[in-house]
Amino acid sequence: MPPIKTEGFVLKKVNFRETSVILTLFTRELGKIKGVLKGVRSEKSKISPLTFTPGAYIFTLVYKKKNELNLLSSPNLINFFEFKDRIFLKIYFLILNLIDTFLPEFQKEESIFFLLQKTVDCLQTNKRNYLVFLGFKIKFIEILGYGIKIDRCTKCGIKINLNFLSPKCGGVVCKNCGILEPDCVKISNKILSIIKFIKKVDLKNLDVLRIKKEEAEKINYLCNLVLYYHTNLNFVWWENEKDIFK
């Protein structure tokens, strides 16, 4: 089978044997894939270590293998992104971790790939980094099909008294339906309007949004509840996220 030419983001790197690495890549053509890159850690290798460093954007050939690890070959570094400070860099890695954690292997998601590209551009220009993070997460959840639906009650369909958010239902529920949903979290009209704005506005325009950091933390918490419910993960992936809202 001929190799597949692809470009992608390095999500994760694990050293393999004495001189190789196993990379998790997020590509437009193949989605999330894993493959071994042989011999790149040897002293004679001409491949720059940046090429297989998490966060890099690279070109590579992928030899797909049945029932075994894919083989990566001829990698070239396209871009290694620079950010204003460590918080922007931290947000970038948090986003890469979200993709690695919640996107199944070989699930082609061009919408998420383009969203990630736009997010990286915004992180390099937007002064309010946590807005970019929230914008990515809300749009990411929407593409995955988990919600967050906010225009009407996800249980009965009415458009008034939308006082709660239900992770199970993937969106808001009214006051009456909220009584019947034990997992509901109370949500204010202000938080609701902010989520609605983020959902409909392009990432590059989020800088116009005036939002308190406590409100940003609340929205991030609600997003994590939705992700947690729909994926049933048994570990905490958000433990480092609180630092970006300080």
Give the range of the structural domain holding residue 56, as residue numbers without chain letter.
4-79
Mean pLDDT of the 100-129 span: 91
Arithmetic mean of pLDDT over the chain: 92
Residues 118 and 72 in one domain: no
Torsion angle defined by CA atoms of residues 16, 18, 20 and 23, in that order, rounded to the nearest 10 degrees: 30
Span 56-80, pLDDT tens digits: 999 999 998 887 899 999 999 999 9
User: What local confidence, expressed as pLDDT, does residue 106 receive?
Assistant: 86
User: What local confidence, expressed as pLDDT, does residue 102 receive?
Assistant: 93
Residues 26 and 111 in one domain: no
Helix or strand run (H / E) with residue 89: helix 86-102
Query: Percent of the chain, pLDDT > 90?
Result: 74
CATH of residue 91: 1.20.1440.120
d(CA 1, CA 67): 15
User: What local confidence, expressed as pLDDT, does residue 108 receive?
Assistant: 87
Determine whether 36 is exposed, middle or buried from the number of CB atoms within 10 Å of its CB (0-12, 13-18, 19+): buried
pTM value? 0.92
- Which single residue is written with the structure tokens 């460093």? 53
SS3 142: helix
Residue that finishes a domain, picked among 30, 62, 79? 79
Judge whether residue 1 has pLDDT over 80.
no
Residue that finishes a domain, picked among 52, 79, 106? 79
Residue that finishes a domain, picked among 32, 50, 79? 79
Span 161-207, pLDDT tens digits: 999 999 988 999 999 998 888 889 999 999 999 999 999 999 999 98
d(CA 107, CA 224): 22
